[in-house]
């Protein structure tokens, strides 16, 4: 069972996703953020402290098929937070230190989509319920800079693929989840 939870920043999507797995005997929480500065370190620490102590946490954004597997316990839900951060991490990793203005966004997106293919295959083979959290990035104005425009487009297409593959899709607005699929 694959569930996608989407919404804007601070919409309540994380809380909603957590409520979807609250019934599970245990939860594997996959955190995709990386620490790049003191503010992010504080945010990550806050999230660590807020998670229930009986949840198992993996902090990673690559090789997810190593932890979302056919061997997972069916009674342990998987909650991945968040796809948008994962896409960001992949873009910068695949950009390999190249100046952002020189990125080949078509090639980068192809590599991101390969990672999403692997994630979807892992989710399909996993006996556990899997909940993916992502940001809805397409409801605002067209960004003024090239990187932001390409990121919005790539993340939007990733979200569409995930929503198509998901059994359930939730849109969260102002803390209220609306099931749209």
- Tell me the C-alpha distance between 171 and 40, whole Å: 26
- Output the pLDDT for position 44: 67
Listed as ranges, residues in the chain with pLDDT below 50 are none
Please, what is the Cα angle at 55 between 49 and 60, to 5 degrees?
A: 80
Among the listed residues 16, 23, 46, 47, the single catalytic one is 47
Q: Which of 59, 62, 60 is nearest to 115 (CA)?
A: 62
| Whether residue 54 lies in the annotated active site | no
- Output the pLDDT for position 41: 66
With helix as H, strand as E and coil as C, how does 119-157 read? HHHHHHHCCCCEEEEEECCCCCCCCCCHHHHHHHHHHHH
Number of domains the chain is built from: 1
Q: Which token pair is 13?
A: 């999507």
| Structural domain harbouring 21 | 2-179
For residue 164, the domain's CATH number is 3.40.50.300
- Output the pLDDT for position 147: 93
- Tell me the C-alpha distance between 72 and 9, whole Å: 30
This prediction's pTM:
0.92
């Amino acid at each position: 069972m694959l569930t996608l939870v989407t919404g804007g920043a601070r919409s309540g999507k994380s809380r909603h996703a957590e409520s979807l797995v609250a019934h599970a005997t245990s939860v594997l929480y996959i955190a995709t953020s990386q620490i790049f500065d003191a503010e992010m370190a504080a945010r990550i620490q806050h999230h660590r402290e807020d998670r229930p102590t009986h949840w198992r946490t993996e902090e990673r954004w690559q090789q997810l098929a190593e932890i979302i597997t056919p061997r997972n316990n069916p009674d342990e839900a998987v909650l991945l937070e968040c796809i948008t951060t994962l896409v960001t991490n992949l873009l910068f990793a695949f950009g390999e230190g190249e100046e952002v203005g020189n990125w080949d966004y078509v090639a980068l997106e192809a590599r991101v989509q390969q990672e999403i293919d692997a994630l979807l295959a892992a989710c399909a083979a996993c006996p556990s319920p899997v909940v993916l959290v992502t940001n809805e990035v397409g409801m605002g104005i067209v960004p003024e800079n090239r990187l932001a425009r390409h990121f919005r487009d790539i993340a939007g297409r990733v979200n569409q693929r995930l929503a198509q593959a998901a059994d359930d899709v939730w849109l969260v607005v102002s803390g209220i989840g609306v099931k749209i699929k």
